Structure 1
Amino acid sequence: MKLTSSAFENNAKIPFKYTCDGQNINPPLRISEVPDEAKSLVLIMDDPDVPKRLKADGMWDHWIVFNIPPTVTEIPEGTEPPGIHCLGTSENLHYFGPCPPDREHRYFFKLYALDTELHLNPKATKKDVEERMKGHILAQTELIGRYERH
């Protein structure tokens, strides 16, 4: 399974437009090679580089969507995928762009193909989603972007 973006390469800088300093819209994403037996997809974007003084676990959840139909092959720029949106760290239900407080951070766009749909409350957290995914992941991939404010 693959997750790519026409806006940036893996491990490259995320363009300003997709950050809290720009338009704060999601970059275009392309999904390919989803296993035929997949029943749903999960998309998680998070930042593991948050200073511990701001968040004890060092993780900021920017975008969490589950029960995305496995037939989705692209998420156009500035659009939310079909599915159930969960609460991010900023209490956001939709994409919230990179906004590092201190230095360059890494942003992981993680995509999972599951053999089931998840039955969770829309107010679920990333932890709830990850717990329910256990034992149901058929394939996974990630796209990493970087951003530093100037």
Structure 2
Amino acid sequence: MANHNPYDDLPQVDSFTLTSADVEDGGTLAPNQVSAYFHVPGGKDLSPQLSWSEAPAGTKSFCVTILDPDAPTGSGFWHWAVGNIPATVDELPEGAGGSVDGMGPSDSDASLPEGAVELRNDAGYTGFVGAAPPKGHGPHRYIITVHAVDVERLDISPDTPPALMGFQLFFHTLGRAQLTGYFEVQ
């Protein structure tokens, strides 16, 4: 499996600090961030707690994405995408993302800041879906990215595909902060 980070192909931008009480950069994901939806034993589908600081000057909003570039799809697998997080926000609690067994698609933004837009993940519902690589496929990377954005609002809705939000971010990202967690099903 290649260690290529697809974000390395984008224009260089400032970096800033991202930390998590739930994900250690380079570490193994905990059961809370693993998928119950895809029947991984012990999984809970809780989005990780995230805190960020030192965003670039001119930041007007943030977006958060979690991508598994190692999924055997040819295009990776989007586990979570949230846009239009106000620039005054610098933290999301664990479980802020909706899940099918939690808040559900209709009110999945209940723990997100006012104005934030949560998109449909590649499992087909609005919210966060945990790690669930195919059994025996080896460790997958879960790239957690906070994007500092130069506009208050991207043109997105809950039905916007995460890749389309990513395309808009190509034109509006001032900075990026990342952590990578790993998980495999043996």
When normalised by structure 2's length, the TM-score is 0.73
Structure 1 SS opposite 2:88: coil
Name whichever of 106-115 and 71-80 sits farther off: 71-80
Q: Summarize the Cα distance change of 1:8–1:122 in structure 2 as closer, same or farther, 3 Å threshold.
A: closer
The match for 1:142 is 178
The match for 2:23 is 8
**Identical columns (%):** 30
Cα displacement (A) at 1:50: 1.2
Cα displacement (A) at 1:139: 0.7
Gaps of 5+ in 2: 1-15, 98-111
Confirm or deny that 1:42 pairs with 2:75. no
Cα displacement (A) at 1:134: 2.4
Structure-2 separation of matches of 1:7 and 1:130: 24
Deviation by residue 1:102-137 (Cα, 9 ceiling, x = unmatched): 321100001111110202232111221122122211
Cα displacement (A) at 1:6: 1.5
Contact persistence 1:34–1:70 (CA under 8 A): no
Deviation by residue 1:14-70 (Cα, 9 ceiling, x = unmatched): 11222013221112111111234211111110101112xxx233x000001110111
Deviation by residue 1:80-113 (Cα, 9 ceiling, x = unmatched): 3331111211112111111111321100001111
Aligned residue pair count = 146
Q: What RMSD over aligned residues (CA atoms) do the two structures have, in Å?
A: 1.4
Confirm or deny that 1:87 pairs with 2:120. yes
Gaps of 5+ in 1: none
Contact persistence 1:29–1:77 (CA under 8 A): yes
Structure-2 separation of matches of 1:129 and 1:7: 25
- Runs of at least 4 residues of structure 1 off by over 2 A? none
Structure 2 SS opposite 1:127: helix
Structure-1 separation of matches of 2:170 and 2:33: 31
Structure-2 separation of matches of 1:60 and 1:77: 21
The match for 1:74 is 91
Contact persistence 1:17–1:25 (CA under 8 A): yes
**Given the alignment, which residue of 18, 22, 29 partners 2:50?**
29
Name whichever of 10-19 and 79-88 sits farther off: 79-88
The match for 2:149 is 114
Structure-1 separation of matches of 2:124 and 2:159: 10
Give the residue type in structure 2 aligned to 1:123: D
